[in-house]
Amino acid sequence: MEELVIRDADVVDGSGDPWYRADVVVDRGRIVSIVKEAADAGCQRPKARRELDAEGLVLSPGFIDMHAHSDLALLRDPDHSAKAAQGVTLEVLGQDGLSYAPVDDRTLEEVRRAVTGWNGHGDDIDFDWRTVGEYLDRLDRGIAVNAAYLIPQGTVRALAVGWEDRAATPEELDRMRRLVAEGMEQGAVGMSSGLTYTPGMYAEDAELTELCRVVARYGGYYCPHHRSYGAGALEAYAEMVALAREAGCSLHLAHATMNFGVNEGRAPELLTLLDEALAAGADITLDTYPYTPGSTTLAALLPSWASEGGPEETLRRLADDGTAERIRHDLEVVGADGCHGVPVDWDTIEISGVGDPALTRYVGRRLDGWTTARHLLLTDRLAPSILQHVGHEENVRTIMRHPAHTGGSDGILQGAKPHPRAYGTFPRYLGTYVRELGVLSLEECVAHLTSRPASRLRLPDRGLVKEGYRADLVLFDPRTVTPGSTFENPRQLPTGIPHVLIDGKPVIEDGERTDVLAGRAVRNSPM
């Protein structure tokens, strides 16, 4: 007898097709049968050792978070309810060009310092890996949800070139090609870049194109945080489209927002650019989060020249009064490349987390100017994370309607007051943008969160409620699903998602987190 039957579910299967009523049978981690309209037809109902009553609930594939920053959180926090309770069954890590593999001892310490605001310094983590394959093996010991990995181009450059603003030598470029090839062979699904973050931003397009050619050989995709989301955003998008087409590589645009005042109302221009490229044969997808503010580290706003050489050099420059004044001028007058070419408006910058508990009083406060920002960067040694209140609601709604759109939380779990998207992205799509605003139909929204990302990841047995597919499933109440997280209280779990299964095992049961660690690394299958 099979293990589980999910009885009388309203199945939204991830394809975008209309929902239907069915009994769904799960055994050994797979969907083994779907009996449509079983109760109404009066046919023999399937039986199993365990029955889950889904009356009034929608059954959908598990949600895929296409932009996650849980690289250490999955190891640090086995519970990981921030994502599991949202119905997320797979996260894509290694984002924005900076993560923890491949590294050597020097690079690992530099990266840990550079992204402390994203993931903490990691003093509580045993970094017993150096390669991509070893990191994925570490995930395979058991994690809350599944995880795929993007090779971080900035980390690769730090390993092969360092943190200097210069072109790679031919020998260094060859080493970066080998590192990317090795990462793909070991299971990465693609490569990310953070082209407003050092040292990845020091790479010219020709260098990035060469690395993307390697990614393409293995059937992976390129996921850039491109060179500007503010002034010059459309030109930066066009640059990435052209680069990926030159390399023959699939492209996935990370957190594809149109932020800052210069881009208000310009989302249709971005979508026209993408539609023209798609019509010409390009393979492009994108992800967004359903909120207007962004989130990053305070140090990320600095001009790139101030961060050249790595974290210690950055701190040295901040400590020098004359150099700090140059930094201030670039930030406030010129518009630093780290702040997307837009002069910083300190009133839009809210501190969301600090590393030093003595600085907790700053969390939740808007910055009052450069003096306070500099003090925090020096005292907390680049650790502060921030919210940046620079988005536009109509741009958010316009972009999420596009057929190439997928969902990504960009959720930073670090800090006392993180962005609520870390805990609320997927129920916010379902509750706010489907039920309350009608921006997307339920069937279309679920497709954006399931089958479309699974297709981008080339996963042949995930993303649909379909016989033979993995039983990564979510049951939610479409009438009540709501994010609990708010900007005031961001660490609140959602309501209306009583059951989440990974490989048929209950990760969330009756609204509560179980002790099941069913997640594993999801590896690319080299072509």
Q: Which amino acid is at 390?
A: V
Question: What 3 state SS string does 494-509 have?
Answer: CECCCEEEECCEEEEE
The length of the chain, given as a count of residues: 527
117, with CB counted inside 10 A (0-12, 13-18, 19+), is buried
Give the β-pairing of 473-476 and 499-502: antiparallel
CA nearest neighbour of 109 among 124, 127, 82? 127
User: What residue spans of 280-392 are helical by DSSP H?
Assistant: 304-307, 311-319, 321-329, 370-379
**Predicted local distance difference test score (pLDDT) of residue 149:** 98
Cα–Cα distance between 245 and 256 in angstroms, integer?
A: 18
Q: pLDDT tens digits, residue range 305-341?
A: 999 999 999 999 999 999 999 999 999 999 999 999 9
> What is the pTM (predicted TM-score) of this model?
0.96
For residue 43, pLDDT over 80 is answered with: no
Percent of the chain with pLDDT over 90: 96
User: What residue spans of 144-190 are helical by DSSP H?
Assistant: 153-160, 170-185
Please state, as a whole number, how many other Cβ atoms lie within 10 Å of the Cβ of residue 73.
Answer: 24
Question: What 3 state SS string does 56-122 have?
Answer: CCEEEECEEECCECCCCHHHHCCCCHHHHCCCEEEEEECHHHCCCCCCCHHHHHHHHHHCHHHHCCC
Which two tokens mark 331? 């930030």
Cα–Cα distance between 527 and 525 in angstroms, integer?
A: 6
Cα–Cα distance between 18 and 21 in angstroms, integer?
A: 10
**Predicted local distance difference test score (pLDDT) of residue 525:** 77
Placement of tokens 């009540």 in the chain: 480
For residue 446, pLDDT over 90 is answered with: yes
Q: pLDDT tens digits, residue range 475-513?
A: 999 999 999 999 999 999 999 999 999 999 999 999 999
Task: Give the alpha-carbon dihedral of 490, 495, 497, 502, to 10 degrees.
Answer: 30
Q: pLDDT tens digits, residue range 346-370?
A: 999 999 999 999 999 999 999 999 9
User: How distant, in Å, are the alpha carbons of 103, 118, 397, 456 from that of 112?
Assistant: 11, 10, 35, 29
CB 277 within 8 A of CB 241: yes
Count, in order, helices (H) and strands (E) of the chain: 19, 20
For residue 40, pLDDT over 70 is answered with: no
SS3 10: strand
CB 384 within 8 A of CB 256: no
- In 404-433, which positions are buried (b, 16+ CB within 10 angstroms) versus exposed (e)? bbbbbbbbbbbbbbbbbbbbbbbbbbbbbb
Q: pLDDT tens digits, residue range 279-296?
A: 999 999 999 999 999 999
Given pLDDT bands bounded at 50, 70 and 90, which one contains residue 41?
low
Which two tokens mark 314? 């950055």
Given pLDDT bands bounded at 50, 70 and 90, which one contains residue 211?
very high
Q: Quick one: average pLDDT of 221-245?
A: 97
- For the chain, give every domain's residue range: 62-292+391-464, 311-384
The highest-level CATH class for domain 62-292+391-464 is: alpha beta
For the chain, give the mean pLDDT: 96
